[in-house]
Structure 1
Amino acid sequence: MKKLSLVIMVWMLLLTACSSGGQQGAAGNGNSVASADQSGKESQGSGNAEDEQPIELSFYFPVAVGGPITSFIDKLAADFHQENPSITVKPVYAGSYQDTMTKAATAVQGGNAPDLAVLLSTELYSLLEMDALEELTPRFSEEYFNGFYEAFMSNTKSGDQVWSVPFQRSTIVLYYNKDMFKEAGLDPEKAPANWDELREFASKLTVKDSSGSVSQWGLEIPSTGYQYWMLQALSLQSGSNIVNNNGTEVYFNKPEVKEALQFYTDLGRKDKVMPEGVLEWATVPSDFISGKTAMMFHTTGNLSKVKADATFDFGVAYLPANKSYGSPTGGGNLYVFKDIPEERKAAAVKFIEFLTQPERVAQWSIDTGYVGTTEAAYETELLKSYVAGFPQAAVARDQMKYASSELSTYQNGQVTKLFNDNIQSALLGEMTPEEALEKSQQQADDILKKYRK
């Protein structure tokens, strides 16, 4: 019996040891399943617990300028997935900025918000009114936000709260054809520095054929889509912005704005150095590239397209000054939406961090022509080398010291549409500049009065 008892005790000890070892291998010290899983994640560049389940992010993106923007975004999404295998970013190309905003707003109202989107920085107050946005102040450090140019950050904030991150940002610059400057007897290395020179140069650059028809215009400034943006630039040059800093009040009928719109209309209707009537936003760069106009005002976001397609030597310069230099900022910011699960918010923030690393900001600026949004991007060897070989790429950056926030209000779509319509009416001669601006001010006041405390 003693021998039998001893055998039973040994057997029970062996069973206990095996049971303990099995539990330890499955969930104890990390050997076996747990360590293999962790090792696999580390080899793929991620060991975070949030990455254990696959996450797919919908990313709404507009295409507002020329060039293969979609292919650049597709590559960024693929590169991010390679570094973060459990997160897949699905770009959704929604057309123009306006189309993208409409699509995003419809999705939010239908309870199916995207995870993140690039929308105009000026849509901030409209999105806040919809209660659509995730506040980003606690998601990033103050040091991170301080890395962006101050003028770009102006359109990201309401009070001290940050609601978006600058991404594909721009200013307006002057493009000019150096070959045409030479033919007109102008110094190809000297762009017009002020309004008087702009009018004078444009006159010399406007060419008529034997029948008296204009075969080459001196200047084109778009008058569709973003005519408010062009007028805002001229207003800043005259010494006044057209909006306050909290989206509740506009100053469309100030004397400086009237002076600006009079100059804008005179270029076509009185000075005859620019086509009268409607000049399509998308057509103006094509006219410049094809030689139909010697100069144009346009976004720096078209710089890479002009560089790739122009068959002539061209220059880029600050917008000419009136009382001072000036341009509003423009372009799109990255927004994260509120009504999505926390793990997708965290993944969206991770994607934003990825997109705004200095090397990627530098490459994006080179690929697209948009302004690098951070000073650190211009300190990279990549962008330093590019600017050294293509100095035109530095103009928009250098003009940032004269840049101001873009027109952005509550009910921004309504306000900008009525303003655009009235500006266009003035350009077409249907109203005087003063009538157009007084009407714009009255209409905007009617819309915005409920937002004023």
Structure 2
Amino acid sequence: MKKKKTLSLLLSLIMLFSLILAGCSGQNSSGSAEDSGGKVTLKFWSFWGSETRRPVIEKMIDDYNKSQDKVVVKHTFVPWGDIWTKNLAAVAAGNPADVVVTDINDVSHRAKNNQSTDLSQYFDDNMKDRFYPHLWETVLYDGKPYAAPFNTDTRLLYYNKKAFKEAGLDPNKPPTTWKELEEYAKKLDVKKGSTYERIGFYPLWGGYGAPSWMRNADEGKNFLEGNKIAIDTPAKADALSWLADWKKRYGKKTIEKWDAEFANGQTNPFVAEKVAMYTDTGTFYTQIRDSGKDLDFGVAPIPAYKEGGRNWSDGGGFVLEVPKGSKHPKEAADFIKYMTDVKAQKYWAEKNYDNVANKEAAESAAKGMDGQEKMVYQASIDNLKDTQLAPIPIQYPDFMSRINPQIDAVMLGKAKAKDALKKAEADVKKIKRK
């Protein structure tokens, strides 16, 4: 009997001691128990796993972990593409990461579908002032932020100054309009017999596709502006016809031959000095820098549709988001604030030669550069004022699947631009709106 009483007393003491320990461990701000060691552990997912970017993001995380004693962030690399599906699956299962890197153009979709966290209760009113306005606007849903912009990009016109001199063009005066772009390209072409040795410019090579040129012509208007459809417009039809004319001028066989030659991506036509003018992001400079060639080049805004028009460009980017169901949303928001503040953003910009969302950090990074590096980076910053993003409309999430076939039909010579865009707009209107 005494043994049973002693055992019972011992078990009671163990249970009491366990409860005391649990109470001492405390609660985090979300109401869940703190992790071992008295610190909250945040799960952070990104697709930055390359030998250049992974050390940078992990150094930033390490700096954050050392900057305070309440939270420890653990980074998990999830491959590009997989991260989107894995994130949504984890949200559905109720076990998501606490912070995830994801695309800026579909923030509103995840917010609407209750897959991300409203961060307005954690961000103060000054948070938006950190960022370029067009980036901040994209992370809002019903006027509230559901993410914070992290990095971005913009398209520029790169031009070969040596080729300009050979063609009798001023190397310090790049084309400013579409008309000048055509004129310059003809002078920069080098053709022997029926074979082109150098092509002055082809608008669909590089990082500025047909939809971008169409928006450039139409005063920067996207195919869908809010609830308004703007696909079948005179300016967009003119732009699409203009693109088809470029292909006709060089010839289908020439374009296909050059496409095949540079398809593997190992050699770039501009870096190889086979194309005199080329559109791409500011980060394209790193390809030029690392090619081992001493290329004399300049950068300029994308030429305007007409004299006096704006040099509309396109951009994208990534955000830091707190998936719905995170056990530590307040701590996650604090980590996001650190990662989008000046110090961290400047470090990312300098180490990766990447456009960051924080305005002050971007300007500060540019001041520490020189030569071509500074020229391109500053041009990228300046270009953001004329850069449009293309957020995916909630009402028409797959609208481009209705537009792209019509663009292709025009480029293949199977349809007129006006007829193709009229059909594209009709097809988009048939989409069942969400």
TM-score, structure 2 as length reference: 0.79
Q: What residue in structure 1 maps to residue 6 of structure 2?
A: none
Q: What residue in structure 1 maps to residue 222 of structure 2?
A: 242
Distance 1:221 1:91 in 2: 39
Q: What residue in structure 2 maps to residue 267 of structure 1?
A: 246
Q: What do the CA deviations read for 1:36-64 (whole angstroms, capped 9, x no partner)? A: x9xxxxxxxxxxx888235141313368x
Query: Aligned runs of 1:350-369 on 2, under 5 Å?
Result: 350-369=334-353
- Give the CA RMSD over aligned residues: 3.6
Q: Cα–Cα, structure 1 residues 162 and 284, in superposed 2: closer, same or farther, change >3 Å?
A: farther
Distance 2:334 2:425 in 1: 42
Given that residues 168 and 370 in structure 1 are in contact (C-alpha distance below 8 angstroms), is that contact kept between their aligned partners in structure 2?
A: yes
Q: What residue in structure 2 maps to residue 88 of structure 1?
A: 73
Q: What residue in structure 2 maps to residue 305 of structure 1?
A: 287
Report how many aligned residue pairs link the two structures: 397
Match of 2:39 among 53, 57, 61: 53
Q: What residue in structure 2 maps to residue 152 of structure 1?
A: 135
Q: Does residue 162 of structure 1 match 2:132?
A: no
Report deviation, 1:147.
2.2
Distance 2:84 2:173 in 1: 40
Q: Does residue 397 of structure 1 match 2:376?
A: no
Point out where structure 1 has 5 or more consecutive residues left out of the alignment.
Answer: 1-25, 28-33, 38-48
Aligned partner letter, 2:215: S
Match of 1:135 among 118, 122, 132: 118
Given that residues 176 and 191 in structure 1 are in contact (C-alpha distance below 8 angstroms), is that contact kept between their aligned partners in structure 2?
A: yes
Distance 2:304 2:207 in 1: 23
Given that residues 130 and 341 in structure 2 are in contact (C-alpha distance below 8 angstroms), is that contact kept between their aligned partners in structure 1?
A: no
Match of 1:180 among 155, 160, 163: 163
Q: Does residue 197 of structure 1 match 2:180?
A: yes
Distance 2:175 2:252 in 1: 14
Q: Cα–Cα, structure 1 residues 254 and 288, in superposed 2: closer, same or farther, change >3 Å?
A: same
Distance 1:167 1:441 in 2: 33
Aligned partner letter, 1:127: R
| Identity between Structure 1 and Structure 2 (%) | 23
Report deviation, 1:275.
5.8
Runs of 4+ aligned structure 1 residues displaced above 6 Å come to: 223-226
Point out where structure 2 has 5 or more consecutive residues left out of the alignment.
Answer: 1-19, 26-33
Q: Cα–Cα, structure 1 residues 365 and 306, in superposed 2: closer, same or farther, change >3 Å?
A: farther
Q: Cα–Cα, structure 1 residues 250 and 191, in superposed 2: closer, same or farther, change >3 Å?
A: same
Match of 1:252 among 204, 218, 231: 231
Q: What residue in structure 1 maps to residue 211 of structure 2?
A: 231
Query: Aligned runs of 1:320-331 on 2, under 5 Å?
Result: 320-323=303-306, 324=309, 325-331=311-317
Given that residues 41 and 73 in structure 2 are in contact (C-alpha distance below 8 angstroms), is that contact kept between their aligned partners in structure 1?
A: yes
Q: Cα–Cα, structure 1 residues 76 and 266, in superposed 2: closer, same or farther, change >3 Å?
A: farther
Give the structure with the larger helix fraction. Answer: 1
* SS of aligned partner of 1:289: coil
Aligned partner letter, 2:305: N
Aligned partner letter, 2:151: Q
Given that residues 42 and 97 in structure 2 are in contact (C-alpha distance below 8 angstroms), is that contact kept between their aligned partners in structure 1?
A: no
Range that drifts further, 312-321 or 409-418: 409-418
Which entry has the higher C-alpha Rg, 1 or 2? 1
Q: What residue in structure 1 maps to residue 62 of structure 2?
A: 78
Given that residues 365 and 371 in structure 1 are in contact (C-alpha distance below 8 angstroms), is that contact kept between their aligned partners in structure 2?
A: yes
